[in-house]
């Protein structure tokens, strides 16, 4: 083996995969004689039945061929882009976690409270529902992250573009107070009986034991909260839409709303977070082709860098809405829609603007890790 080979488990996997799948068909061929058809003959038998293995075998054959190209033994990589179009689609459709219907949330909470489970687990579950946060964030929450006076929970490192701030409703603060009395308000907010972080399956197991949609992932609770905002920062106008979820279809319909709002504009420049739902293809999945193309032609899309959603000015306005309008629990989506609509109308009446800018010198510091650099 070469001296710079990583070795260990990785090396054994490399040898085993090439031995079992590639070598039976390619071992007797010169490296410059291997064709795309030969690589296809290796991959097709396992492409749909052993998807991960097939992908890795293709990558490893490609690595060998790239080495051969670099050494001058051949001119192309027969495992590269040349065979992509010929290989069938073997992706598995993403299965989204279902959310509990709004009317059943209160019943679920009552059943959890009345159970004989460990009190820390029950409080953690209620706090999860009240904050629409992830299980891991709840289980690892620490007392020093809670600002009771401001009614804000700051989750450090929750996102790669900075801390995440969660407004706390009065009931959420009551849950925290109860936990503080029970666990002395030091260290973990919801520790296990041994004082450590709750096990990742603790809440899910409790729901299963109580028959509360046991097959559902607890992160599905956060999907009760959906919505979108667009803002014209210097004009003091904004648009909001509360939805059950934030899917590609929801986003496409919101774009249709924006296009209607600015019907007189030939082109609309839209700055967006770099999310997989924010893609023009969503228009074609939602509307007939002619309508989708007409909408697509109205917009110029600009995406923020990955992990740089804070560069989207709409995030500032969204935080204002959270502090002023969503700082309490709203159980009914109709009430939520009325509250958000009233907040938007009030902000529009006073033409509340967002004037947020920084100098080029500041930008070099703030954006250094978001944009690539090229060494001369």
3-class SS string, 31-62: HHHCCHHHHHHHHHHHHCCCHHHHHHHHHHHH
Which range among 102-116, 123-137, 163-177, 310-324 shows the weakest confidence by mean pLDDT?
310-324
Which pLDDT belongs to residue 21? 92
The mean pLDDT value for 272-285 works out to 83
Q: In the structure, what pLDDT confidence band is assigned to residue 180 with cuts at 50, 70 and 90?
A: very high
Which pLDDT belongs to residue 42? 92
The mean pLDDT value for 222-226 works out to 52
Which pLDDT belongs to residue 3? 54
Which pLDDT belongs to residue 103? 60
Q: Is the pLDDT of residue 161 over 70?
A: no
- Tokens matching residue 109: 């909470």
DSSP secondary structure of 351-364: T--------HHHHH
pLDDT 10s digits, 183-221: 887 789 999 999 899 987 888 888 878 877 533 344 444
**How far apart (Å, rounded) are the C-alpha atoms in residues 242 and 231?**
15
Q: In the structure, what pLDDT confidence band is assigned to residue 133 with cuts at 50, 70 and 90?
A: confident
Which pLDDT belongs to residue 216? 39
Which pLDDT belongs to residue 221? 42
Predicted TM-score (pTM) of this structure: 0.45
The burial of 347, by beta-carbon neighbours within 10 Å (0-12 exposed, 13-18 middle, 19 or more buried), is given as buried
């Amino acid at each position: 083996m070469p001296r710079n080979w990583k070795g260990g488990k990785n090396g054994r996997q490399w040898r085993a995969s090439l031995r079992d799948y590639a070598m039976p068909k390619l071992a007797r061929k010169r490296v410059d004689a291997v064709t795309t058809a030969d690589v296809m003959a290796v991959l097709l038998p396992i492409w749909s039945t052993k998807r991960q293995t097939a992908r890795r075998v293709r990558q490893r054959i490609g690595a060998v061929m790239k080495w051969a190209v670099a050494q001058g033994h051949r001119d192309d990589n027969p495992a590269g882009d040349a065979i992509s179009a010929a290989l069938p689609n073997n992706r598995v459709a993403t299965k989204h976690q279902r959310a509990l219907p709004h009317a059943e949330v209160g019943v679920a909470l009552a059943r959890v409270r009345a159970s004989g489970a460990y009190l820390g687990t029950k409080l953690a579950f209620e706090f999860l529902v009240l904050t629409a946060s992830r299980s891991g964030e709840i289980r690892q929450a620490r007392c020093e992250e809670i600002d009771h006076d401001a009614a804000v929970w700051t989750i450090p490192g929750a996102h790669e573009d900075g801390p995440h701030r969660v407004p706390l409703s009065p009931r959420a603060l009551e849950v925290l107070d109860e936990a503080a009395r029970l666990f002395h308000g030091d260290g973990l907010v919801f520790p296990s009986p041994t004082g450590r972080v709750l096990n990742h399956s603790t809440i899910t197991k409790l729901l299963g034991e109580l028959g509360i949609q046991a097959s559902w992932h607890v992160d599905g609770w956060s999907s009760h909260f959906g919505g979108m905002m667009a803002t014209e920062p210097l004009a003091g106008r904004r648009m909001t839409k509360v939805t059950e979820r934030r899917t590609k279809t929801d986003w496409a319909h919101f774009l249709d709303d924006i296009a209607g709002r600015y019907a007189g504009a030939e082109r609309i420049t839209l700055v967006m977070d770099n999310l997989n739902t924010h893609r023009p293809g969503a228009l074609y999945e939602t509307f007939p082709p002619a309508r989708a193309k007409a909408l697509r032609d109205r917009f110029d899309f600009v995406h923020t860098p990955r992990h740089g959603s804070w560069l989207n000015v709409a995030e500032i306005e969204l935080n204002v809405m959270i502090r002023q309008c969503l700082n309490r629990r709203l159980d009914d989506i109709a009430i939520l829609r009325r509250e958000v609509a009233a907040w938007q109308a009030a902000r529009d009446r006073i033409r509340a603007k967002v004037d947020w800018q920084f100098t080029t010198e500041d930008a070099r510091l703030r954006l250094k890790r978001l944009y690539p650099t090229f060494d001369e």
